[in-house]
């Protein structure tokens, strides 16, 4: 089979490798679609993410869908949860498997991901796809799951005003989920006009070009809300300017959800602003058991994941796909069988 391995920063190579042999609790999957994620780009650009570093040529890819290749369920189309928590630790047992320190994760650390033609993955992490969701849509369920968890953390209530700072894949999905749960005014900011156009099409009531250090977008939000500010600010860019704008734009007693992953592995905020406003600050760690909800939302047409897919490539063209994603030319780059 063909596999794409990252050998060093910006060094993706095609390999010919044996098809893996699944263990007793695994299924052999033929991979059909893999989304290129912002965290994949951290690996690609920095040979790591956060405190995890590249120690061997790694197969990236954790947003994916495939077909079970052998056995009683051969031919079944499935979405795949890339996270495998231990199920035994204190955090798993208390209902927070996303915080499990022993989690194995597709395309991270020692665990090869989905940028290959076949892979073995545990049966319990596979979710059958209805006919209403195609393979690319199945791959989009992973980022949608992160967006659902992000909005869950915020406890959005009907009638609230929310802002999404950063309109990449997670930001645009968070925008749609927040709208579904009742947010009535949705402000979207980004540095790229084409992403703001996408936010407008997907339900943003106001779009604002990010203004860098001057934070013109947060000033505009405060003006639009009669100086009250946002109830919830979702920071989805992994960018310090976006963090600063989110803290500026949120109201007294409001909530800031930090979802973006910063390249420098450090996020800061002005303590006096956060303290005087009495802000609640939460950080997003992947997701919990949300795949059934994500499938329901996409199958019923309540969340549009296909509008985010702007580029499609074949597996052998993965190096080109990563360069396009790295330049932020569209929104979601999809690699397909």
In this prediction, residues 54-78 reach a mean pLDDT of: 96
Token pair 């980004």 is at which residue? 190
Tell me, what's the pLDDT at 54?
Answer: 94
> What is the chain's percent helix, strand, coil content, to nearest 5?
35, 30, 35
pLDDT digits (tens, 9 = 90+) for 72-107: 999 999 999 999 999 999 999 999 999 999 999 999
Residue 211: its pLDDT value, please?
Answer: 77
Tell me the average pLDDT across 303-310: 97
CA distance 230 to 331: 25
- Which sign does the torsion angle of CA 217, 222, 223, 224 carry? positive
pLDDT range class, residue 264, cuts 50, 70, 90: confident
Entry pTM: 0.95
Closest CA to 332 of 41, 133, 114: 41
In the predicted structure, residue 45 carries a pLDDT above the cut 90: yes
Q: Check residue 302 and give its pLDDT.
A: 98
Per residue in 110-158, pLDDT (tens digit) is 999 999 999 999 999 999 999 999 999 999 999 999 999 999 999 999 9
Pick the CATH number of 145-283 from 3.10.20.600, 1.20.1560.10, 3.40.50.720, 2.10.109.10: 3.40.50.720
Question: What confidence score (pLDDT) does residue 214 get?
Answer: 63
Distance of CA 147 to the CA centre of its chain: 7
pLDDT confidence band for 212 (50 / 70 / 90): low
45-72 average pLDDT score: 94
Q: Nearest to residue 269, comparing CAs of 285, 284, 250, 286?
A: 250
Phi and psi dihedrals of 245, rounded to 5?
Answer: -65, -40
pLDDT at 184 over 90: yes
pLDDT of residue 179: 98
Average per-residue pLDDT for the chain: 95
Using one digit for the tens of pLDDT, what is the confidence trace for 5-39? Answer: 999 999 999 999 999 999 999 999 999 999 999 99
Domain boundaries, the chain: 2-140+305-336, 145-283
User: What is the CATH topology of the domain spanning 2-140+305-336?
Assistant: Quinone Oxidoreductase; Chain A, domain 1 (3.90.180)
Residue whose structure tokens are 């690609």: 44
pLDDT value of residue 265: 83
Residue 215: which pLDDT band, with cuts at 50, 70 and 90?
confident
């Amino acid at each position: 089979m063909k596999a794409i391995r990252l050998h060093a920063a910006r060094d993706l190579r095609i390999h010919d490798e044996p098809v893996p042999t699944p263990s007793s609790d695994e299924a052999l999957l033929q991979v059909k679609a893999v989304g290129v994620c912002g965290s994949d780009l951290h690996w690609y650009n920095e040979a790591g993410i956060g405190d995890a570093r590249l120690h061997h040529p790694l197969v990236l890819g954790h947003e994916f869908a495939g077909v079970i290749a052998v056995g009683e369920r051969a031919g079944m189309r499935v979405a795949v949860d890339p996270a495998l928590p231990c199920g035994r630790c204190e955090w798993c047992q208390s209902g927070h498997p996303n915080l499990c320190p022993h989690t194995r994760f597709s395309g991270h650390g020692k665990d090869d991901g989905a940028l290959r033609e076949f892979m073995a993955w545990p049966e319990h992490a596979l979710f059958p796809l209805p006919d209403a969701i195609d393979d690319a849509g199945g791959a989009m369920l992973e980022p949608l799951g992160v967006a659902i968890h992000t909005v869950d953390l915020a406890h959005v209530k009907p009638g609230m005003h929310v802002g999404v700072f950063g309109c990449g894949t997670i930001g645009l999905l968070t925008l749609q989920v927040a709208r579904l749960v009742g947010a009535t005014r949705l402000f979207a900011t980004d540095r790229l006009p084409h992403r703001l156009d996408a936010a407008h099409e997907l339900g943003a009531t106001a779009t604002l070009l990010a203004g860098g250090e001057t934070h013109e977008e947060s000033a505009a939000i405060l003006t639009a809300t009669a100086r009250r500010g946002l109830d919830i600010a979702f920071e989805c860019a992994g960018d310090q300017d976006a963090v600063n704008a989110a803290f500026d734009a949120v109201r007294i007693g409001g909530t800031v959800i930090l979802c973006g992953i910063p390249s420098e592995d450090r996020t800061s905020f002005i303590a006096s602003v956060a303290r005087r406003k009495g802000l609640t600050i939460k950080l997003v760690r992947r997701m919990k058991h949300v795949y059934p909800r994500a499938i329901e939302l996409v199958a019923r047409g309540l969340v549009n994941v296909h509008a985010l897919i702007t580029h499609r490539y074949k597996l052998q063209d993965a190096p080109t796909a990563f360069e396009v994603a790295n330049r932020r030319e569209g929104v979601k780059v999809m690699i397909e069988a």
